[in-house]
Amino acid sequence: MNCHYLSISLAAVLALSSCQSNQEENNNPSGTTDPVETEQPNTSYSPAFQGQTRIAGVQTTSSFESRILTQTLRSPWGITGLPSGHLLVTEKGGSMRIVTVEGAVGEPITGIPAVNSAGQGGLLGLRLDPDFASNRTIYWVFSEAITGGNVTSVAKGQLSANEKQIENAQVIYRALPAYAGNLHYGGRILFDQTGNLLVSTGERSDLATRPQAQSLSSGLGKIVRITKNGQAASGNPSVGQSGGRPEIYSYGHRNPQGLAIHPVTGELWESEHGPRGGDEINRIQAGANYGWPTITYGIEYSGQTIGAGIQQQQGMQQPVYYWDPVVSPSGMTFYTGNRIPEWQNNLFISSLSGQHLIRLVIENNQVVGEERLLANEGQRFRDITQGSDGALYAITDGGRLYRIDRN
């Protein structure tokens, strides 16, 4: 059965009546298929180990459907669930809105500091305080214009009881130095098990700032671990360099737009944009160097090699998985529900240029299967979260909010 009316008529789109079932012809009961990537890679680089790229495909055998709840959001960037079951969404231009599970979109929440939304900037990732029920506190990442240029910043504030304002908003962290560019801000945020914040920052793309991903005196191209007040968290790894920033948790990142905690191991996983080829999924270890721009499985957009054109170097971590050509991985989440049992502990990743949702099956910290979902939607998927009802909710640059759940 395919009840996805979106592909049939414009009227159906306007009526938001789209649903798509996976109850399509499945001639492979085992769920295993050829690798989902069939395009030629940009490079002739060889993976460091078997299964690091182009792993065998998998196919969900359980019955599920996707529904468009709304398509009126304005370039949504981050999404998280509220205790009420509703969803809190950031929009790139600087707005934050509440959306009900029925798809009703609230008015912009006021009281948010101004963002510089030029280029890849804007109001980015967000997260509720673990004690939100009692303190109403929200944390978010945004691109901020300050003296000297733009920075990736973290702010916090309290959502008012009427859910219309952010009160007492304050910036608690800025990834310095500032730079007069508008690319590669990173921008995801989450809490670890100790109640500290993990935040991803980009290296700001340009050749002038790219080397700072390897510099421990710079906040660019990093994952930082900070307290709720924006200070370096206790227990951070010693970066071992005079002048090193104490908030640094890992380094050597390009443009990390996805963070998620594995529900079984408690380890941090990350998605990262590569250049032309070389998108990565990394298992983040405290104090580790993830190599950019010294090692990469990608090349410059011009086709030239990056640096020495090497993919491995001692002291630098290999990605668990990479893509070439790119899929542009953004927000991601591990599925912890039981409504679709075969998805348990699978990693779901939003794909921008690939225009689909990625499902990765992971065993013993290695990817053993990949699936592409909602690939016929023609949407740049920006973020995904699991709601309190156990369903997955995904947003797209085009303004759509999808609900994905069993039939």
Active-site pick, 4, 86, 184, 253: 184
4 is catalytic: no
Q: For the sheet containing 392-396, what is the strand order?
A: 19-21, 64-70, 401-406, 392-396, 381-386
Measured distance CA(7)–CA(379) in Å, rounded = 13
Give the amino acid at 36. V
Contacts of residue 328, Cβ cutoff 8 Å, sequence gap at least 6 = 273, 279, 351, 352, 353, 354, 380
Measured distance CA(403)–CA(395) in Å, rounded = 9
Measured distance CA(91)–CA(123) in Å, rounded = 6
Strands 279-284 and 321-323: antiparallel
Contacts of residue 386, Cβ cutoff 8 Å, sequence gap at least 6 = 81, 333, 335, 336, 337, 392, 393
Yes or no: say if 377 and 404 are a contact pair by the CB < 8 Å rule.
Answer: no
Q: What are the φ and ψ backbone dihedral angles of 297, each rounded to 5 degrees? A: -95, 15
Yes or no: say if 224 and 205 are a contact pair by the CB < 8 Å rule.
Answer: no
Q: Which two tokens stand for residue 376?
A: 């016929």
Q: Classify 240 as helix, strand or coil.
A: coil
H or E element in which residue 279 lies: strand 279-284
- Of 390, 290, 399, 279, nearest to 343 by C-alpha is 390
Looking at residue 198, the DSSP 8-state letter turns out to be E
Q: Classify 326 as helix, strand or coil.
A: coil
Measured distance CA(74)–CA(31) in Å, rounded = 36
Cα 319 to chain centroid distance, Å, stands at: 16
Q: Is the peptide bond before 246 cis (omega within 30 degrees of 0)?
A: no
Residue with tokens 């649903």: 19
Active site residues: 184
